[in-house]
Structure formats: C-alpha cells, structure tokens
Structure 1
C-alpha cells in the first residue's frame, strides 16, 4: 500500500528528529494532526483527498526547514533528562559512598594525610555543586524556557558537562580508593552487600551519564540555535 503525502511527510520527519522517544512522538503526532486538519479543510473546499494532502504538506513546509525548530525542543528535552540523570546519579553515589565509607572505617586507626583530606573535601563539595547545578539546568530546560532563551548551545553544553562530571568523579573516586586502607583486606572484608552495591553503582551510574550526555550532544547537533 502506497503511503499518502501526509504519511510520507510524517515518516521523513520522524527519521530526521533525534531525542527522547516520548517527546519525539508528541512532536510528530502534533505535526500529523496539524496536517490532517489542514487536509480536511481543503477537502471541504472541494479538493480530493490526495490533492488535499499535497496542499497541506506544501503549506506546512519542507522537512529540512522545520526540523531544526522541532529538534531544538527535543535537544532541550534530552538535556533536561541528562541533567536529572546527573543529579540523581551524583546524589545516589554520594549517599552509597558515605555509607560504605562509614561501614568500612569501623575500628580504623588510620588518619588521612593533608592531600587525601583536601581531595576528599573537593570531591564532596563538588558533588553538592554538581547536584545543585544539574537541578537548575533541568528547570531551565523545562519551565525555565518561558523566562529565558536557551537552545542548541545550552543543550550541547549540558551533554559536555555530563561527560566532564563523569571524568572528574571517576578520577577522584579512583584516587580516594587507591589511597585509602580499603584496599587492605586485613582491614576491610571484601564482598559485603554494601560494597557490592557501591561497586555496581560505580559502574552503572557513570555509564548512564555518559550515554545521556552523548545523546544530548547528538540531539543538539542539528537543532536551531
């Protein structure tokens, strides 16, 4: 069965756009509904269905002309998702790491040196800053668009910031682990449930942030500024 002009247009638009599935589906459905309504009005004016659809598509505009505006919305939706993932991941990792640290440090006589203390405080304070910044970013990409103008560059910056966040915390966490006595199995018993959860999150959360960050960068690539 040959697709009509509206179906062909909608399929081309769907292939062109990149972003969160639900947000993309909403935009494509909105475009289709507008085309169908326009075609029905032309039918009422006396055109046959095929001609009415062609007229509606012509009036709507070419896909390559409209896609950047739609893509901007999707880029911001993806950036908002990335910001929420970063906020949730940093918060979860901070809580789990603190619990694991307190559990492992029971009975320790070890005192961290100045470098370790500065590094630990830097990672701690950075987690608070990143968490707050991610929440602000999510608000800006959502209801904040009513008050401030953001677009492709902001979405791309959000994706890059997510990747930078992963690099910072992975490096900082690796240094803290390497310099702490938790590597000494005579001090800490490996394989505890809390430690397994912490190790699992240490692998899963950065992966989620990287994936979403890259999707933000990709979604912003073809969006209108």
Structure 2
C-alpha cells in the first residue's frame, strides 16, 4: 500500500504557490515532521502503516496546512520582488542624471516642451519615492517580520507597489524620449535594454507575488 505521507506531501506541494526554493523547504519541513511523528508512534507500539496514517491525520488537512504555509510563501515572494525592484532602481540615477545622462541626451530640439520637463521632474521625484517605498518594504518583510506577524496583506501591497512602479518608470522614461522628439536609435535601445526590459522582469515577479497572496 502506498505511503500516505508521500501522497499527502504531493498534494501539499501542489496546493502551494510561491518561490520554488521556499516551497520545497516548507514541504521538506512537513516531511520531517511526519517522519518524526511516525517514528514516535512506531516506538509507541503502532505498526508502520498505521503510524504513518495517524501522523498524517494528526498533522492537519492539506487545505489547513497549505493556508498557513502560503503566508510564508507570499512574504518570501514579495521580498524577492522588492529586491529585484531595488536592483533595477539602483542604477537609474546613473542613466538619467549622470553617467549615460539619458535625460540630456534625449532632449533633442523639442526639450522646451512642457511635457518633457514635466516628465523629467516626475521621473526624478517618482524614482526617489519608489526607492524609499521599496527600502521600507524590504525592512518590513525582513527584520520587521521577526518582530511582527507579516501577513499576506503586506505581501499583496508589496506586489502591487512593485507592479505600479514597473508601470510608472518605463512609461515616464519612454514618454520623455517621445516628448523630446528624439529619433536616436541608440537612445531607444538603451532605454529598452536598461529600463523597459529589466522592469518588465520585475513586473513578472510582482505578478507572481500577487498570485501567491
């Protein structure tokens, strides 16, 4: 007869949504608990099959255990998303204010247009706001999680925040280039490679975070 622990762990793994490494760690934790409980019951006089079946029943139903594990997965997913967001945001000032200085290079002949200046100010202010928010969420989902119970609502907010940021920054960046009337192919390729595509990757992670919540 099939080991009820194996079937239980398979169903538990299928019920969880989130980062693979964290998911495997949680399932492995459940497996260790079931093995320890089974061993204790065998020592108490039960046969192996009965002990394994009782260990599974005592551990709790798959929906109940999955619900408690899912919170940990959601927080882990949100933390990974925030890290990715910080990584991409970290080099944005080098793109727009120094280094490549895309803001000046994209100015073109139409830089006196009000929209260009509005977007230039918006991306500068918005980037700092997003950076501050991401740092705050990183602390809350990390160190803060040791002091308070961080639930799915916080993870959901982190995912939504990251998704909003990954929409705002590339749209504003592309809008600046369009408003400036720049036809520089190299500039467009830099914006696509260093702004749009990396933030698209963060957006995918943010959507996975929301799915985990």
Give the C-alpha shift of residue 104 in structure 1.
6.4
TM-score relative to the length of structure 1? 0.84
Tell me which residue corresponds to 1:116.
116
Measure the CA separation in 2 of the matches of 1:109 and 1:178.
Answer: 12
Tell me which residue corresponds to 1:32.
31
CA 1:217–1:105 in 2, change beyond 3 Å: closer, same or farther?
closer
CA 1:86–1:6 in 2, change beyond 3 Å: closer, same or farther?
same
RMSD of Structure 2 on Structure 1 (CA): 2.4
After TM superposition, the structure 1 = structure 2 runs for residues 4-83 of structure 1, keeping only pairs within 5 Å, are 4-83=3-82
Measure the CA separation in 2 of the matches of 1:15 and 1:73.
Answer: 16
- Secondary structure, in 3 states, of the residue corresponding to 1:100? coil
CA 1:198–1:97 in 2, change beyond 3 Å: closer, same or farther?
farther
The question of whether the paired residues in 1 share the 8 Å contact of 2:5 and 2:56 is answered with yes
CA 1:52–1:122 in 2, change beyond 3 Å: closer, same or farther?
same
Consecutive unaligned residues in structure 2, runs of 5 or more: none
Consecutive unaligned residues in structure 1, runs of 5 or more: 221-225
Measure the CA separation in 1 of the matches of 2:131 and 2:62.
Answer: 38
Tell me which residue corresponds to 2:212.
219
- Count residues with an aligned counterpart: 212
Give the C-alpha shift of residue 115 in structure 1.
4.0
Greater CA deviation, 113-122 or 13-22? Answer: 113-122
1:208 maps to 2:184: no
TM-score relative to the length of structure 2? 0.88
